[in-house]
Amino acid sequence: MNTKRIIPCLDVKDGRVVKGINFLELCDAGDPVKQAQYYDAQGADEIIYLDITASHEKRDTMIDVVRRTASAIMTPITVGGGVRTVNDAKALLENGADKVAINTAAIDRPELISELAEKFGSQAVCVAVDARQEKMYWRVFTVGGRKASRWTVNDWVIEAEHRGAGEILLTSMDRDGTRKGYDIALTQMVSRAVNIPVIASGGCGSMAHMAHALLEGKADAVLAASIFHYRETTIQETKQYLEKRNINVRIES
């Protein structure tokens, strides 16, 4: 069987890392490629870049970042943020990205999922879902968590799979940034609702949180940012921890 994936996420703005590793050994700590190389050397199973560049004109900087990353490391790269059209996705995939993550654009026009899947294959189409808990269910939010959509999370992930999504990147808005752990109930619900892989995200503050999301949450992968950026642990150490708990992870000897 394939292994559970451990995925560090880097927030990139105008081609520079804004939330990333906090230390000085790197000669240019703001360079996303340097940080990706650092995680690659630790055995990251994938790298996710989240492009938070505000202006559309500067989007080309992300293409350059992806190009330079794919020239430096042989590790899968996913890019999310700002992908609105088939052409946006094409530019990233032709320059070394393996997957694009779409969020707001997919809610605005669900056909985009099918168009991307048809052109690039489902394996290249990751639907990012920002979820917030309401009374009886979770609701999908867009525009970086600012706008409520008409979709419940359960209905939306089923719709996304039906339209050809190859993966769900599931972020709990309630947990994001709290370091209190992933939302296990949410993760479990989505993992059961679909047959495509699910990446749990939002709230990771410890290695134990990752184990919970993978075991109880039934996630196929976990995304984490600050725990790696602040070097509270390394990917290697995380994997050794998970392996001791009988979680199938990739450890190269």
Partner 1 sequence: MTTIIQYGAGNIFSVAQALKLIGEEAILADTPEQLETAERLILPGVGAFGAAMKSLRRAGLDEAIIKVVKKGTPLMGICLGYQLLFESSDESPGIQGLGLFKGCVRRFNAALRIPQLGWNHVRYRESSSLFTGIRQDSYFYFANSYYTAPTEDIGIGHTEYGRNFISAAQRGKLFGVQFHPEKSQGCGKQLLTNFIQLEEQ
Catalytic annotation, residues = 11, 130
Please list the residues that pair with 142 across neighbouring strands.
147
**Is residue 167 at the binding interface for partner 1, with CB under 8 A as the rule?**
yes
**Is residue 124 at the binding interface for partner 1, with CB under 8 A as the rule?**
yes
**Is residue 36 at the binding interface for partner 1, with CB under 8 A as the rule?**
no
Euclidean distance between CA atoms 220 and 75, whole angstroms:
18
* Binding residues for partner 1, total number by CB under 8 A: 36
Q: Are strands 147-152 and 138-142 parallel, antiparallel or unpaired?
A: antiparallel
**Is residue 246 at the binding interface for partner 1, with CB under 8 A as the rule?**
no
Contact status, residue 209 vs residue 232, Cβ threshold 8 Å: no
Of 224, 244, 219, nearest to 235 by C-alpha is 224
Q: Are strands 138-142 and 125-133 parallel, antiparallel or unpaired?
A: antiparallel
**Is residue 94 at the binding interface for partner 1, with CB under 8 A as the rule?**
yes
Site for partner 1 in 40-79 (CB under 8 A): 40, 45, 67, 70-71, 73-76
Among 38, 39, 120, 138, binds partner 1 (CB under 8 A): 120
Among 64, 123, 192, 237, binds partner 1 (CB under 8 A): 123
Please list the residues that pair with 185 across neighbouring strands.
none
Please list the residues that pair with 70 across neighbouring strands.
none
CB of 20 to partner 1, least distance (A): 21
Neighbours of 169 (CB within 10 A): 27
Q: Provide the binding-site residues for partner 1, judged by CB under 8 A.
A: 1-5, 40, 45, 67, 70-71, 73-76, 93-96, 98, 118-124, 166-167, 195-197, 220-221, 250, 252-253
